[in-house]
Structure 1
Amino acid sequence: MALSPLDGRYLQKVKDLHPFFSEYGLIRYRVIVEVKWLLKLSEIPEIKEVQSFSENARSYLESIVSGFSKADALEVKKIEKVTNHDVKAVEYFLKQKCQSNAEIAEIEPHDYIAKLFNVVVQFNNILTDFDRDIWSYISLGYFKQMTKAREIGSSTMPHKVNPIDFENSEGNLCLANAILSALSSKLPISRMQRDLTDSTVLRNLGIGSGYSLLAYKSALQGIRKLQVSSKICMRWLSLEN
């Protein structure tokens, strides 16, 4: 019933290749690569997302490789039936294996992204408040905006300069925070570590970051145009005195 004579007539002569070229071999070497890579990352102090492992934890990870069995490969295949993704199945297999070791179970790969994005969202909230304040100060005349030659500030009143950079920044921050908040809420959550919704949303990391970057550049551009209105300032100083 073999489709190839290598697995039929000549099986005994080529069976030594099974550990390397069979699907079992492919799964095993994927596990080896993941574990070795994780161990290497743990040795680099600059990578804060992966802590330095104790000898106990390192031995445990090494044992996953050295003790990898056909039963383990079958477990990966079982997970793949749920994920419909062979590489992701290896990742989830390792997650399951590491659940019993508290030290390793804490490097969940998506938690640090969620934490980072939460910080970015908070920064964006502060910048949004700044954009709105500067918009108001410009409207009240405390600041003027310098324009380039032939630059038109408003479609209806060409002599007027709208705070378009700060409006642009605020709008992009709104979009950025909507995406980043969704990502930071979703990434730590997975159905028994067996679904692929994280894979779907991870494709959008650049969108939230992109809108944030646009907002930062717009705000900086607006700041460079600002000029304090000396008349308004002098008026307030005279009122205070």
Structure 2
Amino acid sequence: MPRTDLSALPIALSPLDGRYRAVVAPLIDHLSEAALNRARLRVEVEWLIHLTDGGVLPGAPRLSESERAHLRGLVNAFGAEDIAELADIEAVTHHDVKAVEYLLKRRLDAVPASVASAGPGPSVLPALHEIVHIFCTSEDINNLAYALTIRSAVEGVWLPAARGLVEDLTALAREQARTPMLSRTHGQPATPTTLGKEMAVLAHRLARQARRVEGAQYLGKINGATGTYGAHVVAVPGADWEAVARSFVEGLGLTWNPLTTQIESHDWQAELYSDVARFNRIAHNLATDVWTYISLGYFRQRLSAQGSTGSSTMPHKVNPIRFENGEANLEISCALLETLAATLVTSRLQRDLTDSTTQRNVGVALGHSLLAIDNIRRGLAGLDVDRARLEADLDAAWEVLGEPVQQAMRAAAVAGARGMADPYERLKELTRGKRVTPEAMREFISGLGMPDDVEARLLALTPAAYTGLAAHLVSHLDEE
């Protein structure tokens, strides 16, 4: 196709806006450029209302309920026409925040007659041009807008998905709490566990990180060009500007940062992105572990009613693509999140614009994480446990009982039993590099001269029964 013909087609450069758009679409309402501009408009509107309601500016009119509702309605109704008009204004201003300021002033001029003032006569809104954006640098608007949009994206979209993954994994852990499974430390057969306990470990880790994200603080400031309230104090010296700023920021549901340069320092963002990245890393561990369990045959992938294609040439295959997709997207998300966390904490002297470009990628970073979580959840939902395969692996690994036999010999020796010398070396000779049969293990136990109760306990032991408190440990998930 000639390149000139591509511009007429809805072809996306990013896979998040193309192939995977349906999964990440909920983030658009929070972290798109349009959502950012709506949040900027909200901050400008609320600042205008805050200053007039609080009587901060001598001579400023008080707004009526109708006027306040009209202003807030501009934010709620922000849509396609506003987005297009804003783009036209920005094409002239070459400044995104200034374009929002001018858009709001246009809307003040166009207030309908139905909007009533607090006193006689028409609405006072058209006369408020000079209060719009007063005492503000663009970063006063931006830092608050980003805090609002990032908070709403995390709390409204990312966290519900993350909690959903924890819930799915927790349900699997409880269901398989008593299903014995051969462990593999360093990839080698090791002390048995249960499938549920291993899933519980990952669920517990993910839940802990999700709680850290739930506890995130979203900071904001509105203190002028270098964070000194310099223009504020000169223009209106009688106002308590710190109190005005604090009440405004907290009124938006954010945490007030009292000490900043021109920018809010973005440390809270670095903290948040590090916590999300850590959740991602644990989810990546989950994906690789489940992938490995599938390769071992412990999980079977359930075929959908519509069928599923694995290899384009090998018809027998059903590939664990959900977990592989999850891995890849988590890696991309972590790379972006860690870059954001590393770069946003630094700004040259009182201000540089590196954060302006960087923050525009927050949606991409969370989008890849959201996509990965969705894939892993879908992958988990399509698994069945192959108990026969788990049992076969356990029954072929009687050498793992060398550990409890050795420890029982040690405990018996401490209790005064004779003939328990060199337990580690004796079990090493029996088991290392060898496939031990049930008969060989029981013969060894019977020849030790153990106290009768200890010998009976060991003779009754099998790899499948050697799971310790694994099943009980899953119940700790109930404490979270």
Candidates 109, 120, 123, aligned match of 2:279:
123
Question: Secondary structure at the residue paired with 1:68?
Answer: helix
CA offsets per residue over residues 143-188 of structure 1, 9 Å max, x none? 1000113222322322221110000000001110111110000001
How many residues align structurally?
171
The equivalences for 1:70-219 within 5 A come to 104-105=258-259, 108-149=264-305, 150-219=307-376
> C-alpha displacement at 1:26, in angstroms?
7.1
- Distance of 1:170 and 1:47 partners within structure 2: 25
> C-alpha displacement at 1:238, in angstroms?
3.6
- Distance of 1:141 and 1:26 partners within structure 2: 65
Paired residue type of 1:30: C
* Residues 170, 21 of structure 1: alpha-carbon distance in 2 compared, 3 angstrom cutoff: closer
Is 1:30 the counterpart of 2:156 in the alignment? no
* Residues 63, 143 of structure 1: alpha-carbon distance in 2 compared, 3 angstrom cutoff: closer
> C-alpha displacement at 1:49, in angstroms?
2.8
Paired residue type of 2:258: I
> C-alpha displacement at 1:120, in angstroms?
0.8
> Considering only CA atoms, is the larger Rg found in Structure 1 or Structure 2?
2
> C-alpha displacement at 1:193, in angstroms?
2.6
* Residues 211, 238 of structure 1: alpha-carbon distance in 2 compared, 3 angstrom cutoff: same
Q: Once the two structures are aligned, what percentage of the paired residues are identical?
A: 39
**Is the Cα–Cα contact under 8 Å of residues 309 and 315 in structure 2 kept in the other structure?**
yes
Moved more, 228-237 or 200-209: 228-237
- Distance of 2:376 and 2:363 partners within structure 1: 20
* Residues 167, 112 of structure 1: alpha-carbon distance in 2 compared, 3 angstrom cutoff: same
* Residues 228, 112 of structure 1: alpha-carbon distance in 2 compared, 3 angstrom cutoff: same
**CA RMSD of the aligned region, Å?**
3.4
- Distance of 1:21 and 1:63 partners within structure 2: 21
Paired residue type of 1:225: G
Structure 2: give runs of 5+ residues left out of the alignment: 1-127, 148-214, 221-226, 237-256, 399-461, 463-480
Paired residue type of 2:329: N
* Residues 131, 63 of structure 1: alpha-carbon distance in 2 compared, 3 angstrom cutoff: closer
Query: Match of 2:63?
Result: none
Paired residue type of 1:68: V
> C-alpha displacement at 1:212, in angstroms?
0.4
Moved more, 205-214 or 144-153: 144-153
Query: Match of 1:80?
Result: none
Query: Match of 2:234?
Result: 68
**Is the Cα–Cα contact under 8 Å of residues 131 and 167 in structure 1 kept in the other structure?**
yes
* Residues 50, 171 of structure 1: alpha-carbon distance in 2 compared, 3 angstrom cutoff: closer
Structure 1: give runs of 5+ residues left out of the alignment: 1-19, 52-60, 71-102
CA offsets per residue over residues 98-154 of structure 1, 9 Å max, x none? xxxxx7117935111110000011111111111111111101111100011322232
Q: Greater helix share, 1 or 2?
A: 1
Query: Match of 1:100?
Result: none
* Residues 148, 47 of structure 1: alpha-carbon distance in 2 compared, 3 angstrom cutoff: closer
**Is the Cα–Cα contact under 8 Å of residues 117 and 180 in structure 1 kept in the other structure?**
yes
- Distance of 2:314 and 2:388 partners within structure 1: 22
TM-score between both structures, scaled by the size of structure 1: 0.60
- Distance of 2:318 and 2:129 partners within structure 1: 68
* Residues 50, 206 of structure 1: alpha-carbon distance in 2 compared, 3 angstrom cutoff: closer
CA offsets per residue over residues 54-91 of structure 1, 9 Å max, x none? xxxxxxx9975651359xxxxxxxxxxxxxxxxxxxxx
* Residues 63, 194 of structure 1: alpha-carbon distance in 2 compared, 3 angstrom cutoff: closer
Paired residue type of 1:148: S
- Distance of 2:363 and 2:228 partners within structure 1: 34
Is 1:49 the counterpart of 2:212 in the alignment? no
Question: Secondary structure at the residue paired with 1:158?
Answer: coil
**Is the Cα–Cα contact under 8 Å of residues 302 and 383 in structure 2 kept in the other structure?**
yes
The equivalences for 1:12-31 within 5 A come to 28-30=134-136
Question: Secondary structure at the residue paired with 1:191?
Answer: coil
